[in-house]
Amino acid sequence: MKYIDEYRQSDLASRLADEIARLTSRPLKLMEVCGGHTHSIFKYGIEDLLPPNIEMIHGPGCPVCVIPLGRVDDSISIALRPEIIFTTFGDMMRVPGSKTSLLDGKASGADVRMVYSPLDALKIAKKNPARHVVFLALGFETTAPSTALTILQAAKDSVRNFSVFCNHITIVPALKAMLDSPDLRLDGFVGPGHVSTVIGTRPYEFVCEEYHKPLVVSGFEPLDILQSIYMIVKQAVEGRAEVENQYSRAVCREGNRRALEAIFEVFEPRDYFEWRGLGSIARSGMKLREKYAGFDAELKFAVPGLRIADPKACQCGEILKGVKKPWECKVFGTACTPETPIGSCMVSSEGACAAYYNFGRLSKVAERSGLSAMP
């Protein structure tokens, strides 16, 4: 299929993998920050192709995975109000709160609907003037512009029965927090692709300047990722630490000015936002500006707003930081499975644990036993 197959050619992939192996035999730990990359790495079995000295650490870039339990509980408490139509992305439905998920809430009578875009939620609001529609907004700068534009549209059309429960987060403070974490030893980053289409590559320059780590912004197709890994390894070998842009077909240094303007118009940073497993990170969350307070579900509805500690058994934090591998978590694959997730890393297909569970169980082992040979 055009525009897809070009990026998935296996002969090019094995050549790239050979080139990576030729660069160095030094052990290198690289983190892909973005959940989309984690998903691709597992879906296409990219780790199978990498030489054994290159280790991928699966970072915190799955927005569903880092939503804290308390915010899920808050969502459910809003959704259960009879006047509410609660809308969210499909991934969010099964994320467990402290007791239940939105899917359970729906079974208990809450009107919870899956949408593909916040504009769909606004449409539902216009169609149901007697009800109030809440959109659970989440994600990095990738999805924030569409939430912002939806709010601007709602303001323009004077829609009164629509509000947003905002859980948008920003990538740079999270990256900083990771880099400042004392137990983290990384040699480079596969930089987020979709986020960078919005924010550009300039905001990552501190990674190289202050922390001297190479970062390559990458696309999501398997060849994109392999090429990015090649570029990072090359930098490491040559002793460089630069921001490079592999995803130049979508990303430029300055980002998308109009999208950034929309974000700036509607949102402002929160002083602190809690990340599941990582704790509170300063100025890492977004909230609606005063001017758009009328669309802020947090102000409209009294949400319990409790901080709930992560389950003791769950080691999502260590896994998100790459300190532990999913299988080093005691509950991985036993009590915590994609059907009955305890930690949120197991819920979304972009979560490191779910990716391991679904795609990774066979990888290295399979290769050794020759499973990947075509008949």
Partner 1 sequence: MTKAFSPSPLFERVERARRRKRKIKDTQITLAHGSGGRAMHELVEGLFLEYLGNPILDTLEDQAILDIAQANGHRSARLAFTTDSYVVDPIFFPGGDIGKLAIHGTVNDLAMSGARPLYLSAGFILEEGFPIDDLKRILDSMSSAAREAGVQIVTGDTKVVQKGSADRLFINTSGIGVIDSDVRISAARAQVGDKVIVNGSIGDHGTTIMIARGELELETEIESDTAPLHLLVNEMLTEAERIGAPDGIHSLRDPTRGGVATTLNEIALKSEVHIRIFEGKIPIKDEVQGACEILGLDPLYVANEGKLIAIVSAEIAEQLVARMRDNPLGRKACVIGEVVAEPEGIVSMVTGFGGTRIVDMLAGEQLPRIC
Q: Does 44 bind partner 1 (CB under 8 A)?
A: yes
Binds partner 1 by CB under 8 A, chosen from 63, 70, 139, 360:
360
Binds partner 1 by CB under 8 A, chosen from 71, 106, 168, 287:
106
The set of long-range contacts for 124-127, using a CB threshold of 8 Å and a minimum separation of 24, is 124/85, 124/87, 125/85, 125/154, 125/159, 125/161, 125/162, 126/157, 126/159
Q: Does 306 bind partner 1 (CB under 8 A)?
A: no
Provide the minimum distance between the beta carbon of 358 and partner 1 in the complex, in angstroms, as a whole number: 5
Binds partner 1 by CB under 8 A, chosen from 35, 45, 96, 285:
45
Q: Does 327 bind partner 1 (CB under 8 A)?
A: yes
> Which CB, 8 or 22, lies closer to partner 1?
8
Q: Does 366 bind partner 1 (CB under 8 A)?
A: yes
CB 271 within 8 A of CB 173: no
How far lies 271's CA from each of 72, 75, 286, in Å?
20, 21, 9
Q: Does 189 bind partner 1 (CB under 8 A)?
A: no
**Interface size with partner 1, residues (CB under 8 A):** 54
Q: Does 58 bind partner 1 (CB under 8 A)?
A: no
Q: Does 103 bind partner 1 (CB under 8 A)?
A: yes
> Which CB, 94 or 287, lies closer to partner 1?
94
> Which CB, 94 or 176, lies closer to partner 1?
94
Q: Does 49 bind partner 1 (CB under 8 A)?
A: yes
> Which CB, 44 or 140, lies closer to partner 1?
44
Binds partner 1 by CB under 8 A, chosen from 43, 180, 254, 343:
43
| Angle made by CA atoms 362, 27, 240, in degrees to the nearest 5 | 125
Sign of CA dihedral 207, 287, 289, 160: positive
Q: Which of 178, 233, 176 is nearest to 206 (CA)?
A: 176
Q: Which of 200, 202, 145, 151 is nearest to 168 (CA)?
A: 145
The piece of 8-16, 52-60, 80-88, 296-304 that touches partner 1 (CB under 8 A) is 8-16
Binds partner 1 by CB under 8 A, chosen from 33, 86, 104, 255:
104
Q: Which of 218, 200, 192, 195 is nearest to 256 (CA)?
A: 200
Provide the minimum distance between the beta carbon of 335 and partner 1 in the complex, in angstroms, as a whole number: 8
Binds partner 1 by CB under 8 A, chosen from 6, 14, 257, 306:
14
Provide the minimum distance between the beta carbon of 1 and partner 1 in the complex, in angstroms, as a whole number: 5
Q: Does 364 bind partner 1 (CB under 8 A)?
A: yes
Binds partner 1 by CB under 8 A, chosen from 31, 42, 144, 196:
42
Q: Which two tokens stand for residue 54?
A: 């290159």
Q: Does 13 bind partner 1 (CB under 8 A)?
A: yes
Q: Does 8 bind partner 1 (CB under 8 A)?
A: yes
Binds partner 1 by CB under 8 A, chosen from 15, 81, 107, 307:
107
Q: Does 135 bind partner 1 (CB under 8 A)?
A: no
> Which CB, 91 or 274, lies closer to partner 1?
91
Provide the minimum distance between the beta carbon of 363 and partner 1 in the complex, in angstroms, as a whole number: 6
Give the max Cα distance, the chain: 65
Instruction: Count CB neighbours of 307 within 10 A.
Output: 10
Contact set with partner 1 (CB under 8 A) = 1, 4, 8, 10, 13-14, 42-49, 90, 93-94, 103-104, 106-108, 115-116, 120, 222, 327, 332-334, 337-340, 356-375
